[in-house]
Structure 1
Amino acid sequence: MASQIALGGIQRSNRGLLAVQVQLASGMQFTRPSDNAIGASSVTVLDDLIERRSQRGVNLAQADAVLNSLDASLGDVTDILQEARGIGLSQIGIGSDAATRRNQSAVIDSLIQSLSQIANREQRGIHYFGGDSHGAEPFGSLLNGLQYRAEGLGMRADLGLASDVRLTISGEQAFGALSARVRGDRDLDPSMTATTRLSDLRGATGVGIRVGSIEVEVNGTPVLVNLGDADSVEDVRAAIQTAMQTVDPLATATIDPATGDRFAITPSAGNTVIIRDSNQASAAGDLGLVGTYVGGATTTGADLDPRLTTLTSLDSLSGLTSPRGTLRIRNGGQVRELNLSQYDTVQEFQNAVAALNIGARVEIDPDGRRLNVKNELSGGHMSIEEVGGGTIATELGIRSFALSTKLADFADGRGVKQSSGSVDAITGLPDPAADRDFRITLKDGRTIEVDIGTSSTVEDVLSLTMAAASAAGVSIADFSASLNADGNGISFTDNTPGAKTFVASINNSGTAEALGIAGDTSTAILAGTDRATVAVDGAFAHLMTLRDALLANDEAGIS
């Protein structure tokens, strides 16, 4: 027995000596976590901290290199644009002829190529102007133009306190690579469904849904409902209905079928349900359910105002007729038509437009209420039109030539010319007749002179035209003004007998041409052309316009 105790002591001493020997050889207090669990935990934390700091140092060095290269690229962009500006200025006036301008157009074309190469510059796979999509070239040729394919504002990296600094920027910021139009002109006000996430509801108070516990009292019996884990509308509906049915088995909670944007509570006859927030929670208020619900009747809560998301069903959008129709998109000299009846969600619609490969991009507005369509194609003029009397583009709020379209957006933002402030040369008094902008001559010889001086939208032009017709004694049965039923533009319908309908500018206004209504027809309808197409207002688009103007010897276009 004594020998075993002695042997154990010797073994412990040997192990201790071995541990000391390992510590001396390695310079470490312990080499295995099991030797010192608390110390090992501290070392792990410190190792992680050192590794993070080391990686941030590497990230900062990489970020510095990328930002320096980005800065140099922006300097090169400035140099190219200054050179193009100088060429444009040199070709205005009598010192230049068609041949010289033709030669200079080739120079501008080479500058466009150089600028596109700069726009696709990268370092270690990071494209400087790719926004969040920095892994692929942001610009590419499409339909004789240049398409911007990237998305997002720019890439962030783990830089410690400087993590908010973006290492890349978007082509939209650097080059103006996307159009600002078309912004949807109506709130699509989607309904909520069972799968709608609570995070996609603005809530009855407008601050979202703050999940927590609510109290459901049925005939004086309180039931606490914990919604802390609720994620969808169905989670809330089922939990509230289950709570009510513990006392009233026939009580129901549903989505209001009439509005689709709120809950409906129906206790059975003879029962009363009271819903309130529990303690400091606010879920019941956010869900629009605080109140008393009398048995035998359905009472609805408040509007929860669902947001538009990529997963929103097209059938849930307000104002859309069924079956959904076809819209037309023009851009870069190409035409595509898209039948929306085959798509179920907003995301499917977005993907379908992208698949048309025509340089149009559908986005959800940051306010979560409407759809926007942007032109990605520098050098192209985009329009979104109705087809054959359809209404789907208007219902979605994305028709590019709509009643709400601003006159200031016509002619690539140059607006609509008109006469104003005319003065009688003899009396010196204002001369309203000289402020009239265009004349419509009906087939029967009667004329309608229209002053659009107070107009700001297409709808204003149509209203003033009809008012002028009424003032001229022309009935609605004989004449009407509206949007084109097929395509974009303004239509005048002339039902009077005679040979032709004429529309022309008067008083040197140029208004009829700017509105796309100048011309004549022997048919009942004079259909105008689209002068409110959507162009990219950026560096590439302006260089292409300058190149084409030089090639066409168009001094007005050059200037």
Structure 2
Amino acid sequence: MPQMRVTEGSITSRVMANLQRNVARSGRIQEQLSSGKQISRPSDSPTGTLSSMQLRGEARVNEQYSRNADDGLGWLGTIDDTLTSSLSRLNRARELGIMSQSGINSSESREALAIEVENIRDSLIGLANTTYLGRPVFGGTTTGPAAYDSAGVYLGDGNQVLRTVGGNAQVPVAETGPNVFGTGPNQVFAVLTNMAANLRSNNTTALGANMDQLDVSSNLIKTTLSDVGARYNRVSQANDTAKDRLVSLKGQISDIEDIDLPKTIMDMQLQSTAYQSALAATAKVIQPSLLDYLR
């Protein structure tokens, strides 16, 4: 059987190639330790890179859902506070109507009651023009700064302000003024204007009708408050769902991309030990020759 001749040059080449591979492995581990990531480029793990990209895309979607929900909660919370204040003012107007039916006959007293009713009306118009981030919450999608003018005329539109808070889940986060404050002669501002005039003229029959209209307006606002509360809960739950999903996605991304620090440190120590052992073995296998000295 013929003998294969192994030259010093071939031994040296193989040993150096093995040492270079060892150094390359050490370099990769050092890169992982410094970055904290086990995937720094797609070639590190093509399947892991694809999974990571898909998870990151889903995470961005849920982040947007959460932002939309936070914005929707701001709208709905503003409307809730405004309607609660509006109810208290309507209750005060009703109290004034009851007072006028309790034997107050002097013109001065009726004038004082009428002035307070007008102030309540102006205050309600101010509440109806409540804004959130510069937009009137009762103006639909209007780009104007107010939902009503000083005379109580509606300036907005009938469109809904929607926020997407989940997959195929859009929630109205605003209200249109007519749905809350009424329209025509039953509009709460018109009722209060008429009530003030009836107080001045001491028209008790008309005042009784005004009281009934105020009750209708109060019930309308209460119904809207209940609906707003239900939507607030829905958006809040959607927000919690999006945030919980986001936490889960970040955990999955971390499992794919991030290193196991204790394991990586141990691998680095083992690789360093292996490299030092390889160097020691190489020094014994490749002894210096006379030619090395002559160089």
Instruction: State whether TM-score is above 0.5.
Output: yes
Shift of 1:111: 0.3
SS of the aligned residue for 1:147 comes to coil
2: CA distance, partners of 1:134 / 1:67:
19
Q: Deviations for 1:331-388, whole angstroms, at most 9, x for unmatched residues?
A: xxxxxxxxxxxxxxxxxxxxxxxxxxxxxxxxxxxxxxxxxxxxxxxxxxxxxxxxxx
Q: Which residue of 2 aligns with 1:79?
A: 88
Is the contact between residue 164 and residue 171 of structure 2 (CA under 8 Å) also seen in structure 1? no
2: CA distance, partners of 1:138 / 1:169:
11
Q: CA distance change for structure 1 residues 152 and 91 in 2, over 3 Å: closer, same or farther?
A: same
Q: Deviations for 1:5-55, whole angstroms, at most 9, x for unmatched residues?
A: 987776666544423321232221212345444422221221222233344
Is the contact between residue 131 and residue 152 of structure 1 (CA under 8 Å) also seen in structure 2? yes
Q: Which residue of 129, 148, 158 corresponds with 2:138?
A: 129
Is the contact between residue 125 and residue 135 of structure 1 (CA under 8 Å) also seen in structure 2? no
2: CA distance, partners of 1:25 / 1:33:
18
Q: Which residue of 2 aligns with 1:151?
A: 157
Q: Which residue of 105, 119, 126 corresponds with 1:96?
A: 105
2:125 is the counterpart of 1:116: yes
Is the contact between residue 175 and residue 538 of structure 1 (CA under 8 Å) also seen in structure 2? yes
Shift of 1:102: 1.9
Shift of 1:135: 7.2
Is the contact between residue 130 and residue 138 of structure 1 (CA under 8 Å) also seen in structure 2? yes
Counterpart code for 2:128:
A
Q: Which residue of 1 aligns with 2:166?
A: 160
Is the contact between residue 105 and residue 202 of structure 2 (CA under 8 Å) also seen in structure 1? no
SS of the aligned residue for 2:127 comes to helix
Is the contact between residue 134 and residue 168 of structure 1 (CA under 8 Å) also seen in structure 2? no
TM-score (norm 1): 0.31
Is the contact between residue 56 and residue 160 of structure 1 (CA under 8 Å) also seen in structure 2? yes
Shift of 1:76: 1.3
Q: Deviations for 1:301-345, whole angstroms, at most 9, x for unmatched residues?
A: xxxxxxxxxxxxxxxxxxxxxxxxxxxxxxxxxxxxxxxxxxxxx
2:65 is the counterpart of 1:56: yes
1: CA distance, partners of 2:22 / 2:104:
103
Q: Deviations for 1:49-76, whole angstroms, at most 9, x for unmatched residues?
A: 2233344344444444443332222121
2: CA distance, partners of 1:96 / 1:162:
61
Shift of 1:138: 1.5
Q: Which residue of 1 aligns with 2:195?
A: 546
Shift of 1:117: 1.8
1: CA distance, partners of 2:59 / 2:122:
46
Q: Which residue of 172, 175, 184 corresponds with 2:178?
A: 172
Q: Which residue of 1 aligns with 2:149?
A: 140
2: CA distance, partners of 1:63 / 1:120:
18
Q: Deviations for 1:267-294, whole angstroms, at most 9, x for unmatched residues?
A: xxxxxxxxxxxxxxxxxxxxxxxxxxxx
TM-score (norm 2): 0.55
1: CA distance, partners of 2:92 / 2:149:
23
CA RMSD of aligned residues (A): 3.3
Shift of 1:542: 0.9
Matched positions, count: 199
Q: Which residue of 155, 164, 186 corresponds with 1:537?
A: 186
Shift of 1:133: 3.4
SS of the aligned residue for 2:164 comes to coil
Is the contact between residue 97 and residue 207 of structure 2 (CA under 8 Å) also seen in structure 1? yes
Could you tell me which runs of 5 or more consecutive residues in structure 2 were left unpaired when the two chains were aligned: 1-8, 209-295
Shift of 1:129: 1.9
Is the contact between residue 125 and residue 134 of structure 1 (CA under 8 Å) also seen in structure 2? no
Q: CA distance change for structure 1 residues 10 and 536 in 2, over 3 Å: closer, same or farther?
A: farther
Counterpart code for 2:180:
A
Map 1:29-428 to 2 at 5 A.
29-33=38-42, 35-92=44-101, 95-133=104-142, 136-141=145-150, 145-160=151-166, 163-176=169-182, 179=183
Is the contact between residue 139 and residue 147 of structure 1 (CA under 8 Å) also seen in structure 2? yes
Structure having the larger proportion of residues in strand:
1
Could you tell me which runs of 5 or more consecutive residues in structure 1 were left unpaired when the two chains were aligned: 180-534
Q: CA distance change for structure 1 residues 88 and 29 in 2, over 3 Å: closer, same or farther?
A: same
1: CA distance, partners of 2:106 / 2:196:
15
1: CA distance, partners of 2:145 / 2:84:
22
2: CA distance, partners of 1:536 / 1:6:
98
1: CA distance, partners of 2:77 / 2:168:
16
Shift of 1:116: 1.5
Greater gyration radius: 2
Q: Which residue of 12, 21, 27 corresponds with 2:30?
A: 21
Shift of 1:536: 4.8
Q: Which residue of 1 aligns with 2:260?
A: none
Shift of 1:558: 2.8
Q: CA distance change for structure 1 residues 51 and 537 in 2, over 3 Å: closer, same or farther?
A: same
Shift of 1:170: 1.3
SS of the aligned residue for 1:157 comes to strand
**Percent identity of equivalent pairs:** 24
Map 1:3-18 to 2 at 5 A.
14-18=23-27
Q: CA distance change for structure 1 residues 153 and 85 in 2, over 3 Å: closer, same or farther?
A: farther
